[in-house]
A and B are shown apart, each in its own frame.
Chain A
Amino acid sequence: MNIINFFEALFQYEFLQKALFTSVMVGIICGIVGCFIILRGMALMGDAISHAVLPGVAISYMLGISFFFGAVITGVLTAIGIGYVSQNSRIKHDMAIGIMFTSMFAVGIVIITLMKSSADLYHILFGNVLAVRMSDMWMTLGIGVLVIGLVVLFYKELLVSTFDPTMAQSYGLPNKWIHYALMVVLTMVTVASLQTVGIVLVVAMLITPAATAYLLTNRLSVMIYLAALFGVIASVFGLYFSFTYNLASGATIVLVSALLFGTAFFFSPTQGLVWKALKARKNRVELMR
């Protein structure tokens, strides 16, 4: 099976088209939101929130409602809980994150196990992009439009409050609300990503493409476009490998994005380790002459 077979299959099977559309959308929004997550030093928080939606998803399943609502509620509650614990005790922020998200995740696993559907658990945790339904696709599209719209509308505010929160606050921007809004967006992105990469690996899609872009540019706006692009590339090729070799889509997508990161890490024109090493060596050689 090669790329041509993949394209043939793509034209032939609707499930594959849905899978592709959804993963491209997820690649875009994870890339965009990921930029703000890493620049705000919230990589760990992103990991926490994405895991913490599990009980919400499980309960929604049980009640037969869209897991969108359950996920957003548990995600936001966790964000508030983390803030509350770290601000009202000597427990540090990262400790609070570690405690809260693992607890939530454990609750989720217990609920799903009691429901006796381990197949679902596997798909929620690791994604099953080839089973994307029409309704999932529309939800992902809706979340995507909302996220992109918010970032376009509030780009200015996001930039200041991320780069210099003190200045933002001094002229009246509500940093706290921006933080919680971002947490809500984060849970929505997680929900959108459930089927493509699964809960466990969402954080990779948030951080890796954004981090790759971070190595390549000095402008936030460019970084956002690049991160979205890397997210898309990872999604498309990841899906290809998943379909072709019958592997979990979450894993293949994340591996492609890791490959992109590795390439940037060693070969980025300004930050690349290889160029840096070559330059240092050249300087040394010149000095020895």
Chain B
Amino acid sequence: MEHALKIERLFVSYLGNQVVKDITFSVKKGSLVGIIGPNGAGKSTLMKAALNLISKDKGDVRIFGEPLKKWKKNIAYVPQRSDIDWDFPITVIDVVLLGTYPKLGLFKRPSKNDKEWARECLKTVGMELFGNRQIGELSGGQQQRVFLARALAQKAELFFLDEPFVGIDVASEETIINILRNLKKEGKTILVVHHDLSKAESYFDHLLLLNQHMIQYGASEEVLQPEVITKAYANQFSFLQPKGVNVTS
């Protein structure tokens, strides 16, 4: 079967400064993949370039063997927290409702069914009581859950999440990982930018370790070997112990 996502020889630079270099990997449908690497390694850049949110120098991205364009509306992207304006006049339920927009098309407003569906998604992440709050009036974990609900509302095939576990409480982390596991069971394909090496093995089937270059891609336990990890974090800590080390971004 075709791979859900196939990235070949991807290069990306900002103002002539190359930060993602020659990345090639493919992801099977129904897998939960973690993208790890030190701060500034190019994880977010990789994800954005794969989704054509920033321009790439070179590289090919295929979704189920087809160009990205055909799958745009079936990909849900949850941005890094810092990319959102938390003062924006929008309520929680309306944020989730945005997830129904891609498939509505121009000029159509969300229907009663769409609104019902948004409420259901909000319930899935355990936030149904907060629907009328302004989005900034929530804790970090709650905000992350709301954005996951928005991704769910999109009824996507592929999910891209950038650092969903940063700065959130244990309960929210638990909720989110369980939902991701359920999505995987439904055959969805999920990529997550992540920085906490200690939990990487239990969360993800596959890991992509990068520091500008691709260091290694494979089953989580293979990638989480001390000699592999050291390659990526070499100039960050010489004293590194891979398990239990929390590399904050």
- Residues on A lying within 8 angstroms of B by beta carbon are 39, 153-154, 156-157, 159-160, 162-164, 166-167, 169-172, 214, 217-220, 222-223
Cβ–Cβ < 8 Å partners of A157 in chain B: 106
Cβ–Cβ < 8 Å partners of B91 in chain A: 218-219
Q: Are A170 and B72 in contact (CB under 8 A)?
A: yes
| Residue of A153, A163, A220 ringed by the most chain B CB atoms within 10 A | A163
Q: Give the Cβ gap from A272 to chain B, nearest Cβ, in Å.
A: 16
The residue in chain B whose Cβ has the minimal distance to the Cβ of A223 is B89
Q: Are B134 and A218 in contact (CB under 8 A)?
A: yes
Q: Quick one: which of B53-75 are within 8 Å of A by CB? A: 53, 69, 72-73, 75
The residue in chain A whose Cβ has the minimal distance to the Cβ of B156 is A171
- Using A160-B101, A164-B98 as known contacts, say yes or no to A170 and B53 having CB atoms under 8 A apart: yes
Cβ–Cβ < 8 Å partners of B94 in chain A: 219
Known: A156-B104, A170-B77, A220-B90. 5 other contacts (CB 8 A): A39-B85, A39-B89, A164-B84, A164-B98, A219-B90
Cβ–Cβ < 8 Å partners of A218 in chain B: 89-91, 134
Cβ–Cβ < 8 Å partners of B79 in chain A: 164, 166-167
> Is B237 close to A, CB under 8 A?
no
Q: Quick one: which of B93-129 are within 8 Å of A by CB? A: 94-95, 98, 101-102, 104, 106-109
- Using A160-B98, A170-B77, A171-B72 as known contacts, say yes or no to A153 and B53 having CB atoms under 8 A apart: no
Nearest 10 A-B pairs (CB), nearest first?
A171-B102, A218-B134, A170-B77, A172-B72, A223-B89, A220-B89, A163-B88, A166-B79, A218-B89, A171-B73
| Residue of A153, A159, A167, A214 ringed by the most chain B CB atoms within 10 A | A167
The residue in chain B whose Cβ has the minimal distance to the Cβ of A220 is B89
> Is B83 close to A, CB under 8 A?
yes
Cβ–Cβ < 8 Å partners of B48 in chain A: 166
Q: Give the Cβ gap from A276 to chain B, nearest Cβ, in Å.
A: 15
Q: Are A163 and B98 in contact (CB under 8 A)?
A: yes
Interchain CB contact (< 8 A) of A170 among B75, B106, B134: B75
Q: Are B98 and A219 in contact (CB under 8 A)?
A: no
- Using A156-B109, A157-B106, A219-B94 as known contacts, say yes or no to A167 and B77 having CB atoms under 8 A apart: yes
Can you name 5 A-B residue pairings with CB atoms under 8 Å?
A: A170-B53, A214-B89, A218-B91, A219-B90, A223-B89
Q: Give the Cβ gap from B204 to chain A, nearest Cβ, in Å.
A: 22
Q: Give the Cβ gap from B165 to chain A, nearest Cβ, in Å.
A: 19
Q: Give the Cβ gap from A38 to chain B, nearest Cβ, in Å.
A: 10
Q: Are B107 and A171 in contact (CB under 8 A)?
A: no
Cβ–Cβ < 8 Å partners of B85 in chain A: 39, 163
> Is B51 close to A, CB under 8 A?
yes
Q: Give the Cβ gap from B158 to chain A, nearest Cβ, in Å.
A: 11
The residue in chain B whose Cβ has the minimal distance to the Cβ of A170 is B77
Bound state CA distance, A26 and B113, in angstroms?
38
Cβ–Cβ < 8 Å partners of B88 in chain A: 39, 162-163, 220
Q: Give the Cβ gap from B188 to chain A, nearest Cβ, in Å.
A: 16
- Using A167-B79, A169-B53, A223-B89 as known contacts, say yes or no to A156 and B72 having CB atoms under 8 A apart: no
Q: Are B101 and A156 in contact (CB under 8 A)?
A: yes
Cβ–Cβ < 8 Å partners of A166 in chain B: 48, 53, 77, 79, 83
